[in-house]
Copies of this chain bind each other. A is one copy, B any other.
Amino acid sequence: MGFLDELRNTVAGVSTSPADLAAAARDRSGASPDGLPLAVVRAAAVDGVQDTLRLANEHGVPVVPRGAGTGLAGGALAGRGTVVLDLSLLNRIVEIDPDDELAVVEPGVITAALDRAAQEYGLRYAPDPASAEISTIGGNIASNAGGMRCVKYGVTREAVLGLDVVLADGRLINTGRRTVKGVSGLDLTALFVGSEGTLGVVVGAALRLRPLPERTLTAAAAYDDVEAAARACSELARARREPSLLELLDGATLGVIDRAQGSDFAARGQALVIAQADGPAAEEEIAAIADVLGKQATWSERGVDPESSERLLFARRRALPSIERFGRALIEDICVPRSRLADAFRGVERIARAHDVDIYTFAHAGDGNLHPIVAYDAGSPEPPAAVRRAGDDLFALALELGGTVTGEHGIGLLKRDWLAREVGPDVLGVHGAVKAALDPRGILNPGKGF
């Protein structure tokens, strides 16, 4: 019996309809797969995941795990001959334990849904990727997703206590624990987080929740240029202030927001910094932060309550939607040492001029993590050559400044060459050896990640 027949006979939820295959082949990277997958399995239970992997491993068929398909680096692109393992139906919040401040969830849970469920207990799920309303916890774990709160609360890895993982041969293991601490054996939990589906398929997670802060307050300030804005962020660090959010938007981004939203941010300055403080000292902290930010500012404002504070975040929340209103966008994600933030912004402007492309840049400034968004025409099915070349120059810039080619989106398919340049052959060799140890037949998301 062939693989597909055996799969259909064993696992529920197998589809080979052209529409399903076409939908499952792509993600939000904008890149095209080299053909259609063989089948899509919409797993409704863990044993379906186990059976799919066991059969695929026996037959040497590549498997592409998929959450909501919102990845930006091509990690869920599924080409010819692959089976897509769609985990979006495994979407139960199994447990929220308010005393131990943890949640046990299936991988298909939408990130923002978990956060809302936790709020009923005075808790929250801290990592908040911009995709929180559409991406899944499983996808967040696969790419070790970041977000705006990470500057204070850490990335996804810091929120994952333990995982249920189906190995390449279909065996189910549990890594980590329900305790906050523990050092029994290798940290397999951290190894699977960020591994982009190449080492195993996450089918359950114990996640750390955090107390919902009593208060969150915002301050914003505009500047003559990004360098002044970046300097203000550095001043904040030097003053040993620890905002719970610190974002920087450049003039191009402010302009496109104004154009799309009818706002007037660009009139206040050519760069905007938004900061938050939360917790019991939020008021004292935001006042101190606003003091530092206000010094060289052309405009500044401080939220006095939740409503005015949320309003000051408006520009940041509408940045990407505003850009996408006028065309397509290659969403990039480089990270540099925080002290090189101004150099990075300057470099991005140089790259935009050199390739004659529009780049809108905003940054998780507290982490040195920039998202340069390279715009292109809505009629173009894939990024044009100039856009791709600009992307390459952005990665080169990140490495030049002692940074990394991806802060929070992952390597996926699109950044593999750049990963090799970043880490070198010996580290790639270690990646390969670990991969071979866990997936000897190489069926798990081959050609992705490292």
Q: Does A222 contact B (CB under 8 A)?
A: no
Instruction: Tell me which of B123, B212, B338, B424 contacts A180 (CB under 8 A).
Output: B338
Complex Cα spacing A405 to B182, Å: 8
CB–CB A173/B430 < 8 A: yes
Complex Cα spacing A204 to B6, Å: 51
CB–CB B279/A175 < 8 A: no
CB distance from A61 to the nearest CB of B (A): 22
Instruction: Tell me which of B144, B181, B188, B369 contacts A369 (CB under 8 A).
Output: B181
Query: How many copies of the polypeptide does the oligomer hold?
Result: 2
Query: Which residues of B are found within 8 Å of A187, using beta-carbon distances?
Result: 144, 157, 190-191, 193-195
Complex Cα spacing A172 to B199, Å: 24
Query: Which residues of B are found within 8 Å of A423, using beta-carbon distances?
Result: 184-185
CB–CB B179/A237 < 8 A: no
CB–CB A150/B97 < 8 A: no
Query: Which residues of B are found within 8 Å of A368, using beta-carbon distances?
Result: 179-181
Complex Cα spacing A183 to B409, Å: 7
Query: Which residues of B are found within 8 Å of A154, using beta-carbon distances?
Result: 154, 158
Q: Does A28 contact B (CB under 8 A)?
A: no
Q: Does A265 contact B (CB under 8 A)?
A: no
CB–CB A182/B240 < 8 A: no
CB–CB B183/A339 < 8 A: no
Complex Cα spacing A158 to B284, Å: 27
CB distance from A65 to the nearest CB of B (A): 16
Complex Cα spacing A157 to B194, Å: 16
Complex Cα spacing A237 to B180, Å: 13
Nearest CB to that of A102 among chain B residues? B337
Tell me the A155-195 residues at the B interface (CB within 8 Å): 155, 157-158, 167, 171-175, 177-188, 190-191, 193-195
What are 9 A-B interface contacts by the 8 Å CB criterion?
A97-B337, A157-B187, A183-B410, A184-B404, A186-B450, A191-B434, A211-B240, A211-B241, A433-B437
- 18 new A-B pairs (CB below 8 Å) besides A179-B367, A181-B408, A187-B195? A100-B337, A155-B181, A167-B426, A173-B424, A180-B335, A181-B404, A181-B407, A182-B335, A182-B407, A183-B404, A183-B409, A184-B404, A185-B427, A186-B449, A186-B450, A190-B191, A281-B281, A434-B437
Binding site for B on A (CB under 8 A): 97-101, 122-123, 143-144, 146, 150-151, 154-155, 157-158, 167, 171-175, 177-188, 190-191, 193-195, 199, 211-212, 234, 237-238, 240-242, 279-281, 284-285, 288, 335-339, 364, 366-369, 402-411, 415, 419, 422-424, 426-428, 430-431, 433-434, 436-438, 449-450
